Amino acid sequence: MSKLTVVKIGGNVINDEFLLSKVLADFAALKEAKILIHGGGKRASALMRQMGMQPNLVEGRRITDAATLEVVTMVYAGLINKKIVADLQAIGNNAIGLSGADLNSIQSHKRIVKTIDYGFVGDIDVIESGNISKLLNADFTPVFCAITHDKQGQLLNTNADSIASRIAVGMSELYEVTLILCFEKDGVLSDTNDDTSVIPALTYPQFQDYKAAGIIYEGMIPKMDGAFYALQNGVPNVFVAGTTALAKNAIKGTQLI
């Protein structure tokens, strides 16, 4: 079975041009098939504030009304996605920028209201792994933003970590997949005030304990939820790692076990 590396990068990496260029160079240098997923929530929040809008997040998950959906679609699928694709093209990686609507790649439904109405937020139903595989077989590198669709013409804001984990699971039917959730820290920290306190390996019960203690919180919660979903659904190699992870033969960071 061929190898596939699925990498997700987040807002703090995207907003730092030096870190972003380094990560993209290391990503482009990967020899095996690869897929990149990116967020961009910090950029979207900054633009909303400039427009006089107030971002609304609950445990790192954005409440998305109709106006917010327009902003995040412009930022994620437009500005950030095309900039990343252009940067990859500049270093010889033939990338193609996509939302979940393109090639019907990621189909979602509007999140059902339980205790919180998240608005136009999508929970993923289907990954069209066959269509994505056609791009990989043609030697293209898919670059997905955090926008999906419901097959009825409605775009939906969808957590990028969740997209990465679901793509990793979907593609694991065809490839031996490694999922790397890459952010500005070197891994999951046992002490949020000490960047050297990286946890080398993490189990699901330990994650629950850290979350209950407030050590893992806000945006790290959906990241870890997605990572453990992938591990529990057939992805053999799952890491939460820093920006140097792709440059090393052995990935440094936190491995989920």
Where do the domains of the chain lie, and which CATH numbers do they carry? 3-256 (3.40.1160.10)
Q: What is the pLDDT of residues 96-147, one digit of tens each?
A: 999 999 999 999 999 999 999 999 999 999 999 999 999 999 999 999 999 9
| Distance (Å, whole) CA 14 – CA 234 | 29
| Distance (Å, whole) CA 242 – CA 165 | 17
* Chain centre to alpha carbon of residue 51: 26
Angle at which helix 17-28 crosses helix 81-90, to 10 degrees, equals 60
Using a cut of 0.85, tell me whether the model's pTM lies above it. Answer: yes
| Distance (Å, whole) CA 110 – CA 215 | 30
| Residue 147, pLDDT score | 98
For residue 245, is pLDDT > 70? yes
CB 236, CB 176: distance < 8 Å: yes
DSSP 198: B
CB 181, CB 223: distance < 8 Å: yes
176 exposed, middle or buried (CB, 10 Å; 0-12, 13-18, 19+)? middle
Q: What is the pLDDT of residues 23-61, one digit of tens each?
A: 999 999 999 999 999 999 899 999 999 999 999 988 768
| Distance (Å, whole) CA 180 – CA 15 | 19
- Three-state helix/strand/coil letters over 119-177: ECEEEEEEECHHHHHHHHHCCCEEEECCEEECCCCCEEECCHHHHHHHHHHHHCCCCEE
| Distance (Å, whole) CA 244 – CA 195 | 14
Question: What is the C-alpha R_g of the chain?
Answer: 17
Pairing of strands 106-110, 122-127: antiparallel
For residue 250, is pLDDT > 70? no
Most confident of the following: 87-91, 184-188, 252-256 = 87-91
Query: Which residues in 11-26 are b (16+ Cβ under 10 Å) and which e?
Result: bbbbeeeebbebbbeb
**Average pLDDT of the residues of the chain:** 94
